[in-house]
Amino acid sequence: MATTTTTDATAEEESDADSALVTARRQLERAAAHVEVDENVIERLRHPTRVERVSVPLKRDDGSLDVFTGYRAQHDDVRGPYKGGLRYHPEVTEDECIGLSMWMTWKCAVMDIPFGGGKGGVAVDPKGLSETEKERLTRRFAEEIRDVVGPKQDVPAPDMGTDAQTMAWFMDAYSMQEGETVPGVVTGKPPVVGGSYGREESPGRSVAIVTREAVDYYDWDLSETTVAVQGFGSVGANAACALDDWGANVVAVSDVNGAIYDPDGLDTRAVPTHEEEPEAVMSHDAPQKLSNEEILELDVDVLIPAAVGNALTADNVDDVRADLVVEGANGPTTFAADAILEERGIPVVPDILANAGGVTVSYFEWLQDI
């Protein structure tokens, strides 16, 4: 295992202006310009406390060996233990984990939860793993970062490519090394091993609640409000279904393969979610099929990007016709796109508020486990 530090992002800003780290730092600097904060504090918050980088060997089912790279970024623990997800995705990088850990610091502060920000993951495509391979990878990753996590040190949770089962494996591997059951080392576990009912739905539900409150704030009629949701995984599907249940007109949803659109409104509970049937949204009968780019351009009242980061960029944001953007994914709007939306008078509800239901319920789960 190796502990690394970060350097200034000047060169990075020139080559990768839309990375999570660069975006988070720019957002920090912009926010700092509006409040009276010691510039030394701002400089400190530009950098993580620690970034753990590890090699994660995996014995494949056929007996071959692959070695993947894993990370755990720990941004700030002034308010409490580091808190944030573990993701499995081929594009996981150190800089991404640092940027996401910064957003977790802000998110916990916004919700007044006594956690700091953390984030981690393994650069691996989970689609290329069997269930047994995913379990072995998770257990080995838990062993590799065991020294930097713990109920009062750093508490991981599910994220992109991971779920409650992943957290159960992680907890079990950590507990075996500790010689006792330690349910508080992670949140987002199955209820049978100390998890909380509703944790899986909570990020999407909070997106729906915030959307409903924003609609009320702008004095719109929810029953006449049209909504498009990019991404129909845990966050997007739960947000879409809740808004549909409350009377909103959800006209479009999408997954990685494309979008379905019905101007009269979709029956969202009839659309297969990613958890029910991966990448099956396009199989649902709907009047129109669109691309993931086209769903962002629909003339709707509310657009909820709930798929991946950097969905809205300077290259496509001029095509957005929604009156309100509610961020469901982490960092779906680049810094440049956010500025353009502001100039156009289109408000953006940030992810650190909109999807904060996940870390809120995680806090309750952690309390019952420690």
DSSP 66-134: EEEEEEEEEEE-SSSSEEEEEEE-TT--HHHHHHHHHHHHHHHHHTT-S-EEEEEEES--GGGS-HHHH
Annotated active-site residue 152? The verdict is: no
Q: What six digits make up the tokens of 102?
A: 């910064």
Residue 116: which of 102, 129, 126, 130 has the closest Cα? 102
Ramachandran bin of 265, using left for φ above 0, alpha for ψ from -120 to 50, beta for the remaining angles: left
* Active-site position among 119, 127, 152, 189: 119
Which helix (H) or strand (E) is 357 found in, with range?
helix 357-369
In whole angstroms, how large is the CA radius of gyration of the chain? 20
CA distance 76 to 301: 37
CB of 240 closer than 8 Å to CB of 295: no
Q: How far apart, in Å, do the first and last CA atoms of the chain sit?
A: 27
Which residues form the catalytic set? 119
